[in-house]
A and B are shown apart, each in its own frame.
Chain A
Amino acid sequence: MTEIIGRARRLGDDINTDYIISSARKKTTLDEQILKQYLLESLDPAFASSVRAGDVLVAGKNLGCGSAMEVAATVILAAGIRAVLATSFARSFYRNAINNGLLPIECDTTEILEGDGLMITAGPDGTSITNERTGRCEIRPPLGGIAGAILDAGGLVAYLRREGRFVPLGRT
């Protein structure tokens, strides 16, 4: 069971991975502790310094489009953000999030505003997202399948260390 209580940090649609962390920054180092000071700098240079541990990124549709670069997921984690909410995700970013234990939640984000208090509970029965301001609670089904197993293991490294290979689960 994962519980996150934090502040919504509101982003728009089509936030690409270059906006999350620029390719040009990534060439200087892969150390997330350094890169995290440039999180989302192309959109708002002051964003990184305003992030508090427990913050939750909340986006519209197509979060993480563009480059498949994995630092986009690991830099978010390094900044202390453990969950990302979006109406929809780009495929490679979604996989990268799961593989690193960053919780990606696909849900209706239209009513969530910057600074809203969010309570997120993720467990075997699914994920609930409660907005303290509106009182609205949305329940999402558990991920299931191999993706769910990887997330449950805490990421792809832990999953493969345990299983040694991808274990087919059949239809989802």
Chain B
Amino acid sequence: MAFRAARTQLYRMPPQTIAEKILSAKCGRLAHAGDVVVCDVDLVLGTDASAPMAIGYFERMGGPGARVHDPSRVAFALDHYTPQSESESTAKFHAQVRAFAREQGVRVFEVGEGISHQIIVERGIVRPGQLIVGADSHTVTCGALNAFATGVGSSDLAAAMLTGQLWLRVPETMRVTLRGDRPAGVAAKDIALAIVAMLGGDGAEYHAIEFVGPAADSFSRDDRLVLSNLMVEAGAKAAIWEVAGGVFADAGARCVRELVVGIDRLTPRVALPHAPKNVVAIADAVGTPVQMVFLGTCTGGRASDLRDARAILERGGGRIADGVTLVVTPVSSDVARQLEADGTLPALARMGAVITAPGCGACCGTSGVIPDDGMTVLSTANRNFKARMGNASAPIYLASPAACAAAALSGAIADPRTVRAGP
């Protein structure tokens, strides 16, 4: 009888989304959207911008002598203050993180190694089906590898370090179905910006996104990382792709909304100041003068991004327009090595680009090049809030690496598809 009852229960098990399956596995019971669960966390990831505060919470939560629950599941990346700047405080934050990590046996990715969520992808630390909690909102990036990866604050990070667990509300799922062949000259960034515009700044708030559809397989890992990364600009709690050997959604799993994106009809996009959702077709922004172009960040600083940019720059003659500063910051030291080896970084340097150490760079005004008063910036980043790069009087536009390269050539926003080989 007991056996039959169990069978019946199994048989009636309602279909689950990827998010529901992963969180069920991590909390040890069948869970669905709306349930509040306490989950075992596979990886807890802090940065130099969030870990110092987390260490403070940790010490207050656990009291003297508190130990990290499982040091092998915790890592810190020194990425936001790279290199440490004139203010002594960033060096102090780094020292504090290193000391705590040494004491607790936790791994540190050093200054110059790269951006937290990129490093754990590159080094094979992210695995399908994992639950990853990072004190950085763009931790969602790791959804590209089929992980439920989400951003939290420093206190939740501390709690996860101390207990190995975190409470989560199982989110409803929205499905983004990608259809059609991508036209030449349209980047993953353009598609991601288009989706953020469709959803709005809070359209995916409290939701998990699943990327599916006939076109999904045509997206490279780097492309997927870009799409997952940008979904937090629509509020997404996680943005997950199906990958071979990973967790798949059941047929009939409950989705609260389906967004069908016909990528074959998309054109390059630009986000206007001061929000990532303020997206227009690039035609509507062409001609806007820019004085700083930034190729970098966890959205647009990968090898494929910088190669795209180099290709456009070389096609257009390889001369950066007068009055434009081109800043290039590879997302990680691995990427920098690849781009050194294939000649991309040397080529960009010869054109006069300012190449900075791998990390967050100029993205949020904490290191690297701060735009001057009144400068207009075109950037491959994910956020263009007023003052995001450290100067409230420098408006920020967002676009693909190719579009940024086109602007570096002409000194104004330009459609990268119109860059022709010179005479």
Say yes or no for B71: interface residue by CB 8 A criterion.
no
What residues of B have a CB within 8 angstroms of the CB of A69 in the complex? 49-50, 153-154
Q: Which of B63, B137, B235 contacts A67, CB < 8 Å?
A: B137
Say yes or no for A160: interface residue by CB 8 A criterion.
yes
Q: In the complex where A27-B90, A28-B89 touch, is A157 in contact with B155 (Cβ < 8 A)? A: yes
**Bound Cα distance from A22 to B53, whole angstroms:** 16
**Bound Cα distance from A110 to B90, whole angstroms:** 41
Q: Which of A23, A146, A155, A157 contacts B366, CB < 8 Å?
A: A23
Say yes or no for B151: interface residue by CB 8 A criterion.
yes
Inter-chain contact A23/B365, CB cutoff 8 Å: yes
Say yes or no for B87: interface residue by CB 8 A criterion.
yes
Report which residue of B38, B81, B153, B206 has the largest number of chain A beta carbons within 10 angstroms of its beta carbon. Answer: B153
Q: In the complex where A28-B89, A69-B50, A156-B156 touch, is A165 in contact with B165 (Cβ < 8 A)? A: yes
Inter-chain contact B366/A68, CB cutoff 8 Å: no
**Bound Cα distance from A161 to B202, whole angstroms:** 34
CB distance from B398 to the nearest CB of A (A): 14
New A-B pairs, 11, CB < 8 Å, besides A157-B57, A161-B60: A23-B80, A27-B49, A30-B53, A66-B385, A68-B151, A68-B152, A70-B153, A90-B235, A156-B61, A160-B62, A172-B36
Say yes or no for B224: interface residue by CB 8 A criterion.
no
Q: In the complex where A28-B89, A92-B153 touch, is A42 in contact with B392 (Cβ < 8 A)? A: yes
What residues of B have a CB within 8 angstroms of the CB of A14 in the complex? 201-202, 275
What residues of B have a CB within 8 angstroms of the CB of A167 in the complex? 38
Say yes or no for B386: interface residue by CB 8 A criterion.
yes
**Bound Cα distance from A139 to B299, whole angstroms:** 42
Which 6 residue pairs spanning A and B have beta carbons closest together?
A: A24-B365, A70-B153, A62-B202, A96-B153, A23-B364, A99-B155
Inter-chain contact B36/A145, CB cutoff 8 Å: yes
Inter-chain contact B52/A30, CB cutoff 8 Å: yes
What residues of A have a CB within 8 angstroms of the CB of B49 in the complex? 23, 26-27, 69
**Bound Cα distance from A24 to B81, whole angstroms:** 10
Inter-chain contact A166/B38, CB cutoff 8 Å: yes
Chain B window 107-144, contacts with chain A (Cβ cutoff 8 Å), 1 for yes, 0 for no: 00000000000000000000000000001110000000
Chain A interface residue number, banded: 35 or more
28 contacts across the A-B interface (CB closer than 8 A): A14-B275, A16-B383, A18-B387, A24-B364, A27-B85, A27-B93, A30-B52, A30-B53, A65-B201, A66-B383, A67-B136, A69-B154, A91-B205, A99-B156, A145-B36, A147-B167, A156-B159, A157-B60, A157-B61, A160-B162, A161-B60, A161-B63, A165-B163, A166-B38, A168-B167, A171-B35, A171-B36, A172-B35
Q: Which residue of A lies closest to B202 (CB)?
A: A62
Which residues, 4 to 58 on B, are CB-close (under 8 Å) to A? 27, 34-38, 49-50, 52-53, 56-57
Q: In the complex where A23-B49, A91-B205, A168-B38 touch, is A146 in contact with B153 (Cβ < 8 A)? A: no
Q: Which residue of B lies closest to A99 (CB)?
A: B155
Chain A window 11-50, contacts with chain B (Cβ cutoff 8 Å), 1 for yes, 0 for no: 0001010110011101111100000000000110000000
Inter-chain contact A95/B201, CB cutoff 8 Å: no
Which residues, 353 to 402 on B, are CB-close (under 8 Å) to A? 364-366, 370, 383, 385-388, 390, 392
CB distance from A142 to the nearest CB of B (A): 14
Chain A window 148-166, contacts with chain B (Cβ cutoff 8 Å), 1 for yes, 0 for no: 0000000111001100111
Q: Which of B151, B165, B366 contacts A24, CB < 8 Å?
A: B366
* A residues lining the B interface (CB < 8 Å): 14, 16, 18-19, 22-24, 26-30, 42-43, 61-62, 65-71, 73, 88, 90-92, 95-96, 99-100, 145-147, 155-157, 160-161, 164-172
What residues of B have a CB within 8 angstroms of the CB of A155 in the complex? 155
Chain B window 70-111, contacts with chain A (Cβ cutoff 8 Å), 1 for yes, 0 for no: 000000000011000101011001000000000000000000
Say yes or no for B269: interface residue by CB 8 A criterion.
no
What residues of B have a CB within 8 angstroms of the CB of A71 in the complex? 53
Report which residue of B81, B154, B390, B392 has the largest number of chain A beta carbons within 10 angstroms of its beta carbon. Answer: B154
What residues of B have a CB within 8 angstroms of the CB of A99 in the complex? 153, 155-156
What residues of A have a CB within 8 angstroms of the CB of B56 in the complex? 30
Inter-chain contact B237/A146, CB cutoff 8 Å: no
Say yes or no for B347: interface residue by CB 8 A criterion.
no
